[in-house]
Amino acid sequence: MDDETRNLAITTCILAGQILIENGSNMDRVNDTVYRMGRAAGLKSFQVFTTVTGMVASSDHLPNAQAVDIRVRKNNLRKVAEVNDVSRRFVNGKLTLAQTYAELSAIDRDQTNLPEWLQCVAAAVLSGALLVIFTGDYGDVIESSLIGGIGYWVFLVLFRKFQIKYISEFSAAVVVGVSAMLLQKVGIVANANATIIGSIMPLVPGIPLTNAARDFVAGNLISGPSRALEALLTAAAIASAIVLVLRYVA
């Protein structure tokens, strides 16, 4: 095995890990996938260091380790499934190293997601369903759905334009709170508190919460706290928006 193949093998492993971390996989799975691929590629003494914001991998006493810097969080679970599929085929010997690298970089470049309007419709339905489950309040289902969908749309647009997650969530929560309070003053919404509970739920950080719990339990002392912090920051953004609305609008 020459140095070029080994370098390509390390790059392929690190690319798989990068896509998994960016799209919200838990760290146990990332490490497992990367080590399996490294073993299948025939790397000896392969070592990886994974954090939520970057990865370092080295092998075979090559003079240089490879590192990757991870800054974006896309939370696109379909890519996790696709990387899983590719790595399984590679480990089973159905793909060569070069084919694996090509498929992984195609996955990485692929930007297709559900269309925005469909995501907003899903957010609206989610708001209505969780309103009933959490508060037992049937009266404001349609209003809560509408506000939830609009709030999530505001989040998507702001995030696409400015790429700052927490401020986008803050603004979306302000929109949700203000519109619920105003509609209550006009008399369309009966219970603004319940409406806000339902409409805010699409902004909940589901993937960081789940990963924080699982990484903590798995004993990963770098990834667990940082995922928990990610979830807490989102929660704090939403909470401060709600405090503002309750203090100055209600």
Which positions lie near another protein, rule CB under 8 A? 24-26, 28-29, 31-32, 35-36, 39, 44-48, 75-78, 80-81, 84-85, 88, 113-114, 118-119, 122-123, 125-126, 129-130, 132-136, 138, 152, 193, 196-197, 200-202, 204, 206-207, 209-214, 216-218, 235, 239, 242-243, 246-247
**Distance (Å, rounded) from C-alpha 206 to C-alpha 204?**
6
CB of 227 within 8 A of CB of 52? Answer: yes
Strand stretches in 135-222, DSSP E: none
16 versus 98: smaller Cβ distance to another protein:
16
Taking the complex as a whole, the smallest distance from the CB of residue 117 to another protein amounts, in Å, to: 12
**Distance (Å, rounded) from C-alpha 172 to C-alpha 166?**
10
**Distance (Å, rounded) from C-alpha 190 to C-alpha 181?**
10
81 versus 98: smaller Cβ distance to another protein:
81
106 versus 118: smaller Cβ distance to another protein:
118
**Distance (Å, rounded) from C-alpha 230 to C-alpha 61?**
35
118 versus 142: smaller Cβ distance to another protein:
118
Taking the complex as a whole, the smallest distance from the CB of residue 102 to another protein amounts, in Å, to: 21
CB of 66 within 8 A of CB of 14? Answer: yes
Taking the complex as a whole, the smallest distance from the CB of residue 2 to another protein amounts, in Å, to: 20
Taking the complex as a whole, the smallest distance from the CB of residue 50 to another protein amounts, in Å, to: 12
Taking the complex as a whole, the smallest distance from the CB of residue 36 to another protein amounts, in Å, to: 5
**Distance (Å, rounded) from C-alpha 166 to C-alpha 152?**
13
The number of beta carbons lying within 10 Å of the beta carbon of residue 248 is 9
15 versus 30: smaller Cβ distance to another protein:
30
| CA-based radius of gyration for the chain | 22
